[in-house]
Structure 1
Amino acid sequence: MRPPPTDIDSPFALPDRLAAKADPEMIGGDREHLSTVTATLAAQISSLGERLGALRASPGGVGRAAADRDREIHRLSSRLRLLRRFGLDLCLGKLVYADDTDPVYIGRIGLSDAGGRRLLIDWRADAAEPFFAATHARPLGLASRRRYRWDQGRITDYWDEVFISDGLAGHAALDDQSAFIASLGSSRSPQMRDVLATIATDQDAIIRASSRGALVVDGGPGTGKTVVALHRAAYLLYADPHVDDRRGGVLFVGPHRPYLAYVADVLPGLGEEGVQTCTLRDLVGEGAVAVEETEPEVARLKASAQLVSAIEPAVALYEEPPTRSLTVETPWGEVEIGPDDWAEAFASPDPGLPHNLARDQVWEALVATVADQLDHDELEDFSPDAFRSALRLDDELTETFTRAWTLIEPTDLVADLWSVPAYLRRCAPWLGSDEIARLQRSAPDAWTVSDLPLLDAARRRLGDPATARRSRQREAAVAAERAYLDDVIGHLLDAVVDPGDDLIMLKGEDLQSALVHTDGLAEPDPDLLAGPFAHVVVDEAQELTDAEWQMLRRRCPSGSFTVVGDRAQARRGFPESWAERLDRVGLTRISQARLTINYRTPEEVMAEAEPVIRAVRPDANVPTSVRRGGIGVRHGSTAELDAVVGSWLAEHPDGIAAVIAATGVATGLGASSERVRRLTPELAKGLEFDLVVLIEPETWGAGDPGSRHGQDARVVLAAVDTYVAMTRATQQLVVLHGSAPAVGARR
């Protein structure tokens, strides 16, 4: 936690070289306004702490009151964390309007003083749009726009962009470069740098676009796709009435865990902690141990949404009603359950109720069938719980029911498909004999990434059997307490000669329900990633198979998606258009936005990377770089790895480097190695580093399962991986080969 500056008269700490920007005429108004912000922050932090402490000390309550209390604690805690974390640098910049109205200050969140005067406008509010969207062709009423650079709670630099030809002389700091371009030269950090104040106009338009339907954001490396994806998630939760926590909120899906760690700090920094983030592996419990599929043909078969559809008939085999009659003996007489009775009971569950959870409804329907055939007068003295208990003592009934509607583990269902050929043939009749044989394996529960969509579909169709068991345990506990309460009330009434109406009411079911205590009974833990969500953002979406798309579609029935990716970076190919791909997986109302300006990768790097991808993807959306790094791409030998990285670390004390190789690379970098990431090309996707070192990219793809499809597939995969890895560099790129001339020579 970093507190606001203690000296509220000095929010600026400009270095000597920027002495001209310290002129009171330039920053006097900012100093006064930010001093008020500082005082307000201190007061709000104190007030929020007191309110939060009092709320936590208050009784928890029950039901809706408890839920409302928990929500308020979460809301206050989130705001307090944000105020403590950022302090004065909640402020991003200032808008000066041409009509001489008071300047407007833009913040990560909105902030008002005790009198209600607005000190900061939330960056997501409509009033803040000119801060990102104004251009010289469309100034949106602005005279100028100022952006701040913060360091340790002080402004260390600022930039002014002027939209009118005169009237601001002596009041604006005019720089050759805008804040956006200037920020690109700063070093990376282990997590994504703060980019909120440097959103480009084209990116802002995408961030604020409607949430209706599926919006595709197609852009090459360095175009800010991830920036757009994260900011759009935060913006929609704040501004879009169709996307909020009450409607399901937002799910953000990234490509891998290093990526999520890299961007973990961004959403809280945008004033939003309500977005659920995950990878596709996280959606299924088995994802943590799943390995890559080694057989390309098996991976191809499981990538199809059609194979996922085999889950439904697989479950249906466990929902077939018995076809023979069964005589049930009860204390009140015999009852026959015929085939029609079984069929009616098996058809009774609510539509969409998972198999394991529907089991109790089927049993209740059977109980009702038996009760309907008995003398109701004889049943009056028996509670429904006692009647159910009596039926459960009939072994033949319970065994027949259990065999016909069995509780199933999702993992067992899918494992049976990979170990029982006849079962798979019945559930997926379109498969050929050779395909069925290929999908069988000796260890059916040795899960692969390609299995995850089927496991997910099975879990959603079946439901958690543990949930069903907990539900029955809860019902049994409630029934036991009801029975005990019944006995107590019975003894009480027997002891009273003339019980009044108040005591008679104790026999009433409503009052008994109120007297039964259920607070300590187990409740199922909610699955935070199960959905449904109001909106889903998918980054690096070009890698998703049709089967994986079904995992996300099930979690967002509205079809409200932001789809972020680059077809050229698809490791397994992407021959069709985005519209064709998304239409095939069931998304509609598809719109598309393209990002074509590369703000990250230096021109020197892109000049060498572009031919690599053009050789295999002539239609690739290769963006145009807007900055030169002044350093050419260097080539050398792998024997020089330690020397290259070591000298760079010594010259750049604040930078982050990445060594990217097809397999693990050991280096002797010693104590400095915490600033060096070692990654495969696949795990480098979505990340960025000051220095990138590629190890023998000419060998990439040779050992990948995809290469078994042939030489062409290997060449394409190697080119895509090389292109992705090269474009992770923001300052310098070095390519090391198995045998090469000295570093600095060109190949």
Structure 2
Amino acid sequence: MTERFFELAERAAHKGAPRLIGGDERAFARIAATLAAEVDRTRRALDEARRVRASWGQAAVQRDAEVRRLEAHLRVLRRVRADLALGRMDVAGIGSRTWIGRIGLADEDGERVLVDWRTPAATAFFAATPATPLGLARRRRYRWAHGRVIDYWDEALDPGVDADDLVLEADSAFLRSLGEHRSGRMRDVLATIQADQDAIVRADAHGALVVDGGPGTGKTVVALHRAAYLLAAEERIREGGLLFVGPHEPYLAYVADVLPGLGEEGVVTCTLRDLVPEGAGAQPETDRAVAALKASPRMLDAVRRAVAAWERPPEEPLEVGTPWGGAVADAAAWAEAFAAADPASTHDDARDEVWAALLEVLAEQIDEEEARPEAVRRALARDEALRSAFGRAWPVLDPAGLVADLWSHPALLRRCAPWLAEDDVLRLQRTDPRAWTESDLAILDAMRALTGEPEAVRQRRRREAAVAAERAGRNRVVDELIAGDDGEGLVALLRGADAQRSLLDEAALPAPTPDALRGPFAHVVVDEAQELTPMQWAAVLRRCPSGSLTVVGDRAQARAGFAESWEERLRTVGVRSVRRRTLGVNYRTPEEVMAEAEPVIRAALPDAAVPVAVRTSGVPVHHGSPDELAAVLTAWLEREQEGVACVIGAPSPVADPRVRALDPVAAKGLEFDLVVLVDPAGFGGGVRGAVDRYVAMTRATERLVVLGR
């Protein structure tokens, strides 16, 4: 064995004796060799899959799917080295050892050298405690950096275990790791997932599971690991897809490496802004009263009425002529056609259903025996007066235009939202109705869900026309071939409908652009869920009809207040099956910071569930004046060669990539070694101001500086 996998930090040098780590070194060498062989095997399989000639039909679909699968697997394999290994568990009595990893690996003989952390066989590694050892005698967790183990943490789970080759410490590697420097990305914490967190990660996905916990309790860690676990553990979710909704773009960038590092690339991530095209340019809603009106679930009724206002049959009967006689599109005919619309269809999809039903109703009025029904319907469909009348009765709608109409036509808004007071109607009007704000986005999404997307309709119709043209051309060729056949040869098989369909190369036809966020998804994870309004919840549930949700949040961090329970909030928006799990230990924020942050939130929310901090930094909170900002940052940068800092409440006067400037909302879900609050009193009063101050303070993992009152 030439490669060594341990490069212990100075504080852990006493752990480097061969009797302590020799078995691990041999295991890592085996893992590295198996990994290299798996990379080679996957690369060769990918090359072979790419050489398969399949240009159309099911063969092409299968080939492309296999290429994508192998490419994803190869990306995961190339991202890791021997640091795939998270730790080791020793079974009591028989002394066998099992290494737990980010992914599973087996050697060429099929013997398992690494067990995937998501499998049932790995559960004991995370869930065992001295009180409940689950059959384990001991456990070792590794701390990796740059492909080498820099520290490890041993635990004796069986009091009678021989501890000669263990290093037992009161100060665990886990607690030490909490105080290490942060970077711009979330750190890898899989090896140190705690038993209470792992139980939530592995909970089943039936109904809604609420993960309730204060700052630093690992809610986001649990949410991300749960997403990766569910995709591996539940076929329904793997096939139906999983959507992860984060609070803002800095958060998504911060956690971007976590899921790939867990061996999972199948999660779709987004913010609520991303759900509609208008989200990219939407501005904050500065008027809280307007934001509250738009967040009301009654806005869904206004959206429905706005769509229904464009589904109006003509009042006057229309006579339509054909070569076989006439028909009358009267009130009864229109009513029967309108009734054919599937309630589950969007307005634009139902338009085709209503048009087809109208032609059928009118064709039935023509009693000419020689007229073929399809010929009659084609003749009716060519009538310009009928087409024009139908276009007015059930037009293609622009969802954004309909929402803009609500904000620019008071009479329309009064008609669609009759419960609004006159002052509220006028408050919702604006000079530029398409100057979208964040409060508009959920309404736009609801409108699209009812109307459909005009571009999707146009794409579908272009595809249908292309299919028809392609089929007509194929049929001409088939007819010529059949005409020259004696009826007994293979060409006669072309008369079969299945054979003729197989000739159509649909892969070459115009295809609709898929909306990756439209869903439906089998499961949705929502982080910072305490901030969602009823309209935003409607947008989430629209993408997850099954109600299979992981809801992650903290009622004490809700800027708009959160008086009811999680169960009450979710049932109000239509989620019936709700379970709640609580995380009460703050692993991130030092005691010194929490001692100052707790009174801030309790002044506004006396019953706030403030988590208990488990570590100290030894650094007291510093109070000063705003003119100290530059000096504080400069001194920290000179003293600390690693880590990241964040200024909250003011621009940063220091141009350094390790220093960021964010507002309290954009800082949610993130963590920094140093947090500097500037003029926290300026964050405002009431619950919103207290929450912003509390959130900002608890982003600190080491040091907090408060400049101002």
| TM-score w.r.t. length of structure 2 | 0.95
| Corresponding residue number in structure 2 for 1:249 | 241
Q: Distance in 1 between matches of 2:411 and 2:327?
A: 37
Please name the residue that 2:338 is paired with: 346
Find 2:708's aligned residue among 716, 733, 737.
Answer: 737
Distance 1:266 1:421 in 2: 48
Deviation, structure 1 residue 110:
0.9
For residues 291 and 497 of structure 1, do their structure 2 counterparts lie closer, same or farther at Cα, with a shift above 3 Å needed? closer
Tell me the residue number matched to 2:349. Answer: 357
State which drifts further: 347-356 or 92-101.
Answer: 347-356
In 2, are the aligned partners of 1:308 and 1:453 still within 8 Å (CA)? no
Other structure's SS at 2:690 match: helix
Output the CA distance in 2 between the equivalents of 1:502 and 1:173.
Answer: 78
Corresponding position of 2:254: 262
Residue pairs, 1:203-242, within 5 angstroms:
203-242=197-236
Say whether residues 1:114 and 2:124 are aligned partners: no
SS at match of 1:342: helix
Query: Does residue 616 of structure 2 align to residue 628 of structure 1?
Result: yes
| Structure 1 segment 360-375 matched on structure 2, within 5 A | 360-374=352-366
What amino acid sits opposite 2:298 in the alignment? Q
Aligned twin of 1:659 = 647
User: Within 1, Cα distance between the matches of 2:540 and 2:473?
Assistant: 47
Give 2:431's aligned amino acid. Answer: S
Structure 1 unaligned segments of length 5 or more: list them.
Answer: 1-6, 702-713, 739-747
CA distance in 2, matches of 1:502, 1:64: 22
Cα distance in 1, alignment partners of residues 499 and 52 from structure 2: 28
CA contact (8 A) 1:251 1:536 kept: yes
The reply to whether residue 325 of structure 1 matches residue 317 of structure 2 is yes
2:217·2:588 contact (CA, 8 Å) conserved in 1? yes
Matches within 5 A, 1:262-411: 262-374=254-366, 378-379=370-371, 384=374, 390-411=379-400
Post-superposition CA distance 1:681-707 (Å, at most 9, x none):
111111000011111112212xxxxxx
> 2: distance between equivalents of 1:17 and 1:684?
33
SS at the partner of 2:674? strand
Contact 1:234 1:270 in 2 (8 A): yes
Report matched runs for 1:428-577 at 5 Å.
428-485=417-474, 511-577=499-565
User: Residue 613 of structure 1 corresponds to which residue in structure 2?
Assistant: 601
1:721 equivalent to 2:692? Answer yes
Q: How far 1:370 moved relative to its partner? A: 4.0
Which residue number corresponds to residue 146 of structure 1? 140
Partner Cα distance (1:559, 1:190) in 2: 34
Report what 2:29 is aligned to: 35
* SS of equivalent residue, structure 1 residue 314: helix
Q: Secondary structure at the match of 1:645?
A: helix
CA gap of 1:8–1:107, structure 2 versus 1, over 3 A, is farther
2: distance between equivalents of 1:230 and 1:602? 23
The secondary structure found in structure 2 opposite 1:579 is helix
Q: Distance in 1 between matches of 2:475 and 2:152?
A: 75
Query: How many Å separate the matches in 2 of 1:290 and 1:462?
Result: 21
- Looking at structure 2, the residues matched to 502 and 313 of structure 1 have their Cα atoms a distance apart, in angstroms, of 58
Shift of 1:379: 4.5
Report the Cα offset of residue 275 of structure 1.
1.1
1:682 aligned onto 2:665:
yes
C-alpha separation in 2, matches of 1:490 and 1:428: 59
Using the TM superposition, name which of 201-210 and 499-508 deviates more.
Answer: 499-508
Distance of 2:321 and 2:531 partners within structure 1: 59
User: 1:185-204 counterparts in 2 under 5 A?
Assistant: 185-204=179-198
- Please list the CA deviations of residues 438-494 of structure 1 after superposition, one character each: whole Å capped at 9, or x if unmatched: 22222111111111111101111111111111222222223334444555666778x
Which one-letter code corresponds to 1:665 in the other structure?
Answer: P
Structure 2 counterpart of 1:583: 571
Q: Is the 8 A contact 1:8 1:35 kept in 2?
A: no
2:154 alignment partner, SS class: strand
| Structure 2 CA distance for aligned equivalents of residues 482 and 322 of structure 1 | 36
- 1:208 alignment partner AA: R
Query: 1:362-413 CA deviation, whole Å, 9 max, x = no partner?
Result: 2222333344444676455x9x5x7666444321011001000100011011
Distance 1:351 1:717, change over 3 A: closer
Please say which of residues 684-693 and 329-338 is displaced more in the overlay. 329-338
| Deviation of the 1:49 alpha carbon | 0.8
Question: Is 2:322–2:376's contact at 8 Å kept on the other side of the alignment?
Answer: no
Name the SS for the 1:674 alignment partner: coil
Do the aligned residues in 1 keep the contact of 2:333 with 2:361 (CA within 8 Å)?
yes
Query: Take 2:198 and 2:433, find their aligned partners in 1: how far apart are those partners?
Result: 48
Q: Deviations over 1:227-286 (max 9, x none)?
A: 111111111111134422x2x222111111000100011111111111111111111111
What are the superposed Cα offsets for residues 100-157 of structure 1, whole Å, 9 maximum, x if unpaired?
Answer: 2410110011111111111111111112112111111111111111011111111111
TM superposition shift of 1:202: 1.3
Matched residues in 2 for 1:492 and 1:113: separation?
Answer: 56
- With over 3 angstroms needed to count, the CA separation of the structure-2 counterparts of 1:518 and 1:64, relative to structure 1, is closer
Whole-angstrom CA distance in 2 between matches of 1:233 and 1:529: 16
Give, in whole Å, the separation in 1 of the partners of 2:202 and 2:488: 67
Cα distance in 2 between the residues matched to 1:593 and 1:265: 26
% same residue: 56
Distance 1:606 1:340, change over 3 A: same
Aligned counterparts of 1:188 and 1:497: Cα–Cα separation in 2: 76
One-letter identity of the residue aligned with 1:297: A
1:650 aligns with one of 628, 638, 641: 638
Give, in whole Å, the separation in 2 of the partners of 1:531 and 1:484: 35
1:8–1:38 CA contact under 8 A, matched in 2: no
Worse-superposed segment, 692-701 or 465-474: 465-474
Shift of 1:506: 5.8
